[in-house]
Amino acid sequence: MPIEVRPLSSAIGAEILGVDLSQPLDNQAWSTISAAWDKYMVLFFRDQHIASEHHIEFSRRFGTLEEYPFVKGIPGYPELIDIVKMPDEVKNFGHGWHVDMSFRERPPLGAVLYGIEVPPVGGDTMFCNMELAYDTLSDGMKKFVHTFRGVHDSLDPAGHSQKYKGMSLQKKENLTWEHRSHPLVRTHPVSGRTSLFISPDYCWEIEGMDAKESRMILDYLEAHATQPEFVCRFRWQLNSIAVWDNRCTMHNALNDDLNARRTGQGFKRIMRRSTISH
């Protein structure tokens, strides 16, 4: 069957049909997938029955892989981590709008996420188009974001340990607290397009401003970037895959397990992730 690219929303995201990621991709298939990724920023694949080797092989088509800094890799595959929410937990790992590891000097290129155990409803992931967010700013705000830098903070690495019952979160040797500034805009190294660069989970201040001034502007930029017109929502199913471009998107794993909030008996969710460094 020919590969079909089906947009998920008008702003961002597309489903890819007619491909089996447990099999090697030929040049034509990869060319179609790569072009769709450049255009839609996040791609989704359904009904993919992949082993860890396939996950890694597919991820490496996008770039070099790196280990996730705060989570132990699965046995035999340090590049892969399991993201787990237990039935009595309210929050998903990765909740809140963010750019992955924006506190790094060079944040990751992207990630590949595979649904191993998903609930019948809930646990969806939202993605937003940061190029569109920049393009639709007023001329005055564009001048502002080109002038200033946001301060990104990893917080204490020890604080990432043992927050989630089903995950192997622990402080690794030589892991340091990372705190650095980045411009509020960045240019995509492949497309040359400009995008807004905020990361609400990690970026709380603007250089040269006090906390109150920073919060007012960053809150506005977050609300602007995540308005419904700029967003797609992916409903996970078993054996689904999402791959996103971390250089021009933000994402948010929704905390929408209301049964866990009300009764302590919600859903379990297990996702397997690889991180693409460059």
pLDDT tens column, 98-120: 999 999 999 999 999 999 999 99
Looking at 3.30.70.100, 3.60.130.10, 2.40.50.1020, 3.40.50.1860, the CATH number of the domain 4-276 comes to 3.60.130.10
pLDDT digits (tens, 9 = 90+) for 53-98: 999 999 999 999 999 988 889 999 999 999 999 999 999 999 999 9
Which residues are CB-contacts of 139 (< 8 A; sequence separation ≥ 6)? none
Whole-model pTM: value is 0.95
- pLDDT at 137 > cutoff 90: yes
Categorize the per-residue pLDDT at 167 as very low, low, confident or very high, splitting at 50, 70 and 90: confident
**pLDDT of 5-44, one tens digit each?**
999 999 999 999 999 999 999 999 999 999 999 999 999 9
Q: Output 254 or 169, whichever has higher pLDDT.
A: 254
In whole angstroms, give the CA distance from residue 12 to residue 39: 8
Dump pLDDT digits (tens) for 243-267.
999 999 999 999 999 999 999 999 9
Element (H, E) at 4: strand 4-7
pLDDT at 164: 83
Measured distance CA(268)–CA(156) in Å, rounded: 28
CA distance 213 to 116: 43
- Helices marked H in the chain: 27-40, 52-60, 130-135, 139-147, 211-225, 258-263
Annotated catalytic sites, by residue? 98, 100, 251, 273
The dihedral over CA atoms of 211, 229, 117, 38, expressed in degrees to the nearest 10, equals -90
Is residue 122 a contact partner of residue 267, using CB atoms and an 8 Å limit?
A: yes
pLDDT score at 163: 76
According to DSSP, residue 208 is labeled T
Secondary-structure percent of the chain, ordered helix, strand, coil, rounded to 5: 25, 30, 45
Mean pLDDT computed over every residue of the chain: 94
The whole-number pLDDT of residue 130 equals 98
Identity of residue 182? H
Other CB atoms within a 10 A radius of the CB of residue 200 amount to: 19
Q: Alpha-carbon distance 90 to 260, whole Å?
A: 6
**In the structure encoding, which two tokens stand for residue 216, read together?**
């007012």
User: Which one, of 68, 85, 86, lies nearest residue 77 by Cα?
Assistant: 68
d(C-alpha 226, C-alpha 250), whole Å: 9
